[in-house]
Amino acid sequence: MSGGGQGFFQAASWGSLPRRLTELEGVHRGLAADRVCGSQSGSLADMSLSESDSSCFCGPLEETLAAEVRATITQSLSDAAHTLGCSKLILPDCLPRSIGQELLHLAACEPCGLRGALIDLCVDRGDQGPLCAVEQIAVDATLVPTFHLTLVLRLESGGLWPKVQKLFKGSRPPQASAGSPGLWNTQRLSVGFRAIKRKLYSSGELLIEECC
């Protein structure tokens, strides 16, 4: 994704997602969805629907949508290496799966399920710099979002990886130039992250979850 400088967000570009969303809309069409999600005109319908009255979204199609969002997040992070000041950003194998599970968990009893999510993707660089805004993703741009989710990922600051980085930096050959940093400027994300959820149709408090 191009041009997403630090502090600026761009909407994600989806491939097969419209077809997935059409399937989801057919399966989950009901009274609750009609009241909250049916309008594509940009206006909210009855957002006073209580969480206990809304249908919980789960099942294979919602999991498929979560996988699409997870893939977009993974690609956005890979494309954001330059924004984070490194040549390559490594994601632990378990991180995308953990993010997908958290998305399903937080969207389960929302009126529109995961379709109603507006996701801000950020990376906490610790003592290397301020919080970096990577991407903003509207899961279904035809709907008014029903909840806002901020995912704060962290650069790994403990464990084996920083020690490996220091080892390579200490043995860096003199001919290595700043223009081709290669492995010398590679960063790795931690397996842990923070999820901050705010409902956009009520004045409830923030829900903050630490995931590891």
For the stretch 127-152, pLDDT in tens is 877 899 999 999 999 999 999 999 99
CA–CA gap between residue 131 and residue 8 (Å, rounded): 12
Residue 103 sits in a domain of what CATH number? 3.90.470.40
Contact 114, 66 (CB under 8 A): yes
How sure is the predictor about 56, in pLDDT bands with cuts at 50, 70 and 90? Answer: confident
Residue 179 inside a domain? The answer is: no
Structural domains in the chain (count)? 1
For the stretch 79-119, pLDDT in tens is 999 888 888 999 999 999 999 999 999 999 999 999 999 99
CA–CA gap between residue 131 and residue 84 (Å, rounded): 10
pTM comes to: 0.68
Residue 162 inside a domain? The answer is: no
Report pLDDT for 181. Answer: 44
Three-class HEC string of 139-185: CCCCCCCCEEEEEEEEECCCCHHHHHHHHHHHCCCCCCCCCCCHHHH
Residue 191 inside a domain? The answer is: yes
Report pLDDT for 126. Answer: 85
Residue 75 inside a domain? The answer is: yes
